[in-house]
Amino acid sequence: MPRARPPNMNSEIRTSRDREMSSTATHAANAETSVAATSIEKRSSMPRRIRTIARNAFREALRDRVLYNLVLFVLLLTAGAILLGELSAAQESKIIVDLGLSASLLFGAFISIFVGVGLVYKEIERRTVYAIFSKPVGRGEFLVGKYLGLCLTLLVNIAVMGFGVSLALIYVKGGWDPLALRIWPAILLIYMELMILTAVALLFSSFSSPALSALLTFFIFIIGHFSADLKTFAASLGTTSARVFFGALYYLLPNLANYSFIKPAAHGVVPDAQTLLASLAYAVAYIAVLLSAATLIFSRRNFK
C-alpha cells in the first residue's frame, strides 16, 4: 500500500522552486549590474589611461639626448644672432627674431618628424606593445596618448627656445624690449604647425617604416609651406586632370603657410585674435582627422 504524501509537501516543493527562480533572477540582475559597472568604469578610466601613456611618452622623450642637443643648438644660434646683430646697425632685434624663430621652427620640425615616427615603431620593435594591449587599453587610446606626450615635449622645447629669443632681445636692448613679448603669438603659431606635423608623422608611422615615414613627413612639411603656390600652379595648368590633381593636393595637404608669421613678427607685427582662432580651429580639425585615420589603420594592423 503506497505511503501517503504529507499534505504540506506540494507547498514545500512550490516554495523551493520559487526560491530557486528568485535566486536565479537575483544572480542575473547582479551580473547585469556588474557588467554595466565595468563598462562605466572603463569609460571613466579612458582619460586616465591616455594620461598615463602621454606621461610615459613625455618621460621617454625627455630621456632622448637629441632633444637637448637641438635646443642647445637653437640657443647657440640665437647667441650667434646677437653677434650678427651687433655688426648691423639698428638691425639687432630683427635678426635675432628672424634667425631665432626660424631655427625654432626648423629644429622643432626635426623633433616632430624623427621622434614622431618612432613613437609606434619603438613599441613594436621592443615588443612592449603586446604588454600594453594585453591590458584594457585601446589602440586609439595608445596613439592619442603617444601624440599628446610628444606634443607636451614640443611645448617644453618651444617654450625654452622662445624664452631664449626673448632673453636675447632684452640683452641686446639693455633693458625691457616690447618685442620680447610681441613674438609669442608667432611662437604659438609655430607650435600649432608642429602639432599638425606630429600628427602627420604619427599617421605615416602607423603603417610604414621609420625611414619612409620621416621622408614622407618631411615632404609634407615642405609642400605645406608652398600650398598657395600649389593652388596657383593648379589654376595655370591647361589640362583638366592636372588641375583636379593639384587642386586635390591643395585641399588634402595641410596649409602650413598660414602658420608662418616669422617675418612680420621680426618687424613687431602681432597677428589678430581672429587669425589665431582660425588657425587653432584649422589645426584642431586637421589633427582630429589625422588621428582618426591613424587609429583606423593601426587598429587593423596585425602584430603577429
For residue 6, pLDDT beyond 60: no
Flag whether 268 is in a domain: yes
Q: What is the pLDDT of residue 192?
A: 95
pLDDT in tens, 38-88: 443 444 477 888 888 888 888 877 776 666 666 676 677 777 766 665 655
pLDDT in tens, 74-119: 677 777 766 665 655 557 788 888 888 888 898 889 888 888 888 7
Q: Which three cell numbers stand for residue 281?
A: 580651429
pLDDT in tens, 216-271: 999 999 988 887 777 776 667 667 777 777 777 777 888 898 898 898 998 888 98
Flag whether 3 is in a domain: no
**Which of helix, strand or coil describes residue 23?**
helix
Range of the domain at 57: 45-225+260-299
For residue 200, pLDDT beyond 80: yes
For residue 188, pLDDT beyond 90: yes
Q: What is the DSSP string of 155-215?
A: HHHHHHHHHHHHHHHHHHHTS--THHHHTHHHHHHHHHHHHHHHHHHHHHHTTS-HHHHHH
- Quote the distance between the C-alpha of residue 67 and its chain's center: 17
Q: What is the pLDDT of residue 122?
A: 78
Flag whether 231 is in a domain: no
Q: Which three cell numbers stand for residue 211?
A: 625611414
> pLDDT averaged over the chain?
77
Flag whether 141 is in a domain: yes
Number of domains the chain is built from: 1
Flag whether 2 is in a domain: no
Which residue has cell 622623450?
Answer: 61
pLDDT in tens, 133-173: 777 777 788 888 889 998 998 998 888 888 888 888 888 77
Contact (Cβ atoms closer than 8 angstroms) between residue 146 and residue 49:
no
Flag whether 269 is in a domain: yes
Flag whether 203 is in a domain: yes
Percentage of residues of the chain with pLDDT beyond 70: 75
Best CA proximity match to 61, nearest among 108, 26, 102: 108
Tell me whether residue 19 is exposed, middle or buried, using C-beta atoms within 10 angstroms of its C-beta: 0 to 12, 13 to 18, 19 or more.
exposed
How far apart are the C-alpha atoms of 103 and 81, rounded to whole Å?
Answer: 11
